[in-house]
């Protein structure tokens, strides 16, 4: 090897080593900053103006919920989405509207909002249990359930396993309609391995919370919410998302979500197709999922119907509340 080649090689190694050193130093600095200077215990106000109560689920722990049951009629239960900073706040437009006409309940799902955020196993089964226990013990009669995004899968699981608890389902921007790229068995095996490895990497205590702090910084929350709104994101939405993500234990459930462990594999075939109740899907465009396989299900299952709410990007009840409410009313009036 020539002297020139040796010098170039040493230069590359030195540069690479310097880059690694700088990266490690930056990561270490952020870990220290996260632990010492970021407030992880904001005083979290109620997300909605109704009464907030706690319910102890025998299978899902302490669950916080909001309720206005001063009106008579079929109960309406609203389920927020699952993301790094989700809470009952996401369902505010529907709660504010329907509390004027019927009993309305909004649940903070396990690991979010003012519900229990303990370090435990978070899974689709846990969320199914939470919804089922809540409907049975708190609501106490068959309800119309409106679920957002990934929570649509939990609501559908409940509808299949405890059908007597749910009169109808309305799914807003539901997950589970992306096409599988490989055979089902290969895909399931690949997902299980990838999810477990990813979770193991994300959940390391040294950097779990600091990494979560990066994901839930105000700029990051603003960027993610911008993708879900055609127009401007309400400041109150960003503020509450930031505060709810800065609570003790706020990182535990989202870590399972970020690693893919809260999704039900092949949910379209194994769950959605089995639902027997009337189902309405409200959708348009969504930056985090797609609805490529939805038309086929709508053709195949007579109890399913879909309404496209345009122009929206995953949160039609925020950007097009009138169209959303009109579609819901038409659906329920036909039951």
3-class secondary structure, 55: strand
Q: What is the DSSP letter of 165?
A: G
How far out from the chain centre does Cα 179 lie? Answer: 20
Terminal-to-terminal C-alpha distance of the chain? 81
Q: Which of 100, 111, 114, 129 is nearest to 65 (CA)?
A: 114
Q: How far apart are CA 105 and CA 226, in angstroms?
A: 27
φ, ψ for residue 66, nearest 5 deg: -110, 145
Give the per-residue pLDDT at 36: 74
Give the per-residue pLDDT at 210: 87
Q: What is the DSSP letter of 230?
A: S
The answer to whether residues 331 and 303 touch, using CB atoms and an 8 Å cutoff, is no
Domain spanning 51-181+258-333, CATH class: alpha beta
3-class secondary structure, 4: helix
For 26, 128, 253, the CA distances from 123, given in Å and listed in that order, are 33, 9, 9
Query: What b-and-e string marks burial along 214-246, b requiring 16 or more CB atoms within 10 Å of the CB?
Result: ebbeeebbeebbeebbbeebeeebbebbbbbbb
Give the per-residue pLDDT at 188: 47
Q: Which of 31, 299, 264, 243 is nearest to 153 (CA)?
A: 264
Q: Can you read off the two tokens belonging to residue 184?
A: 């089902």
Sequential pLDDT tens for the chain (335 residues): 555 544 444 444 444 444 454 555 666 676 776 777 688 888 999 999 989 999 999 999 999 999 999 999 999 999 999 999 999 999 999 999 999 999 999 999 999 999 999 999 999 999 999 999 999 999 999 999 999 999 999 999 999 999 999 999 999 999 999 986 644 444 544 555 667 788 888 888 887 898 999 999 999 999 999 999 999 999 999 999 999 999 999 999 999 999 999 999 999 999 999 999 999 999 999 999 999 999 999 999 999 999 999 999 999 999 999 999 999 999 999 99
Give the per-residue pLDDT at 194: 62
3-class secondary structure, 279: strand
Query: What b-and-e string marks burial along 269-302, b requiring 16 or more CB atoms within 10 Å of the CB?
Result: eebbeebebbbbbbbbbbeebebebbeebeeeee
Q: Can you read off the two tokens belonging to residue 174?
A: 């539901």
Q: How far apart are CA 119 and CA 134, in angstroms?
A: 21
Q: How far apart are CA 75 and CA 89, in angstroms?
A: 19
Give the per-residue pLDDT at 27: 63
Give the per-residue pLDDT at 24: 54
Give the per-residue pLDDT at 38: 83
Boundaries of every domain in the chain: 1-37, 51-181+258-333
Q: Are strands 76-79 and 51-57 parallel, antiparallel or unpaired?
A: unpaired
DSSP annotation string for 67-107: EE--S-SS-EEEE---STT--GGGGHHHHHHHTTTS-EEEE
């Amino acid at each position: 090897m020539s002297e020139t080649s040796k010098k170039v090689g040493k230069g590359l190694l030195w540069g690479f080593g310097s880059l690694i050193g700088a990266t490690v130093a930056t990561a270490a600095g952020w870990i220290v900053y996260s632990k010492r200077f970021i407030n992880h215990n904001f005083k979290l106000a109620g997300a909605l103006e109704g009464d907030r109560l706690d319910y102890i689920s025998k299978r899902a722990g302490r669950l916080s919920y909001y309720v206005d049951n001063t009106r008579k009629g079929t109960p309406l239960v609203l389920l927020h989405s699952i993301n790094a900073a989700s809470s009952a706040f996401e369902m505010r437009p529907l709660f504010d509207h329907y509390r004027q006409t019927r009993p309305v309940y909004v649940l903070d799902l396990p690991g979010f909002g003012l519900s229990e955020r303990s370090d435990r196993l978070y899974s689709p089964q846990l969320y199914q249990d939470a919804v089922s226990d809540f409907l049975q013990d708190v609501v106490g009669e068959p309800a119309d359930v409106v679920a957002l995004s990934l929570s649509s899968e939990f609501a559908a699981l409940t509808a299949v396993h405890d059908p007597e608890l749910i009169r109808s389902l309305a799914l807003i921007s539901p997950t589970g309609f992306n096409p599988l790229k490989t055979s089902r068995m290969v895909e399931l095996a690949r997902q299980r391995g990838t999810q477990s490895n990813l979770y193991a990497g994300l959940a390391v205590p040294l950097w779990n919370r600091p990494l979560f702090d990066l994901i839930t910084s105000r700029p990051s929350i603003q960027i993610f919410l911008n993708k879900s709104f055609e127009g401007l994101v309400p400041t109150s939405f960003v503020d509450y998302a930031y505060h709810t993500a800065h609570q003790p234990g706020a990182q535990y459930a989202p870590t399972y979500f970020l690693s893919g462990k809260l999704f039900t594999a092949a949910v379209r075939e194994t769950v959605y197709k089995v639902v027997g109740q009337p189902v309405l899907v409200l959708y348009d465009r969504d930056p985090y999922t797609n609805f490529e396989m939805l038309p086929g299900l709508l053709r195949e299952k007579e109890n399913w119907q879909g309404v496209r709410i345009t122009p929206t990007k995953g949160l039609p009840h925020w950007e097009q509340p009138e169209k959303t409410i009109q579609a819901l009313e038409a659906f329920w009036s036909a039951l």
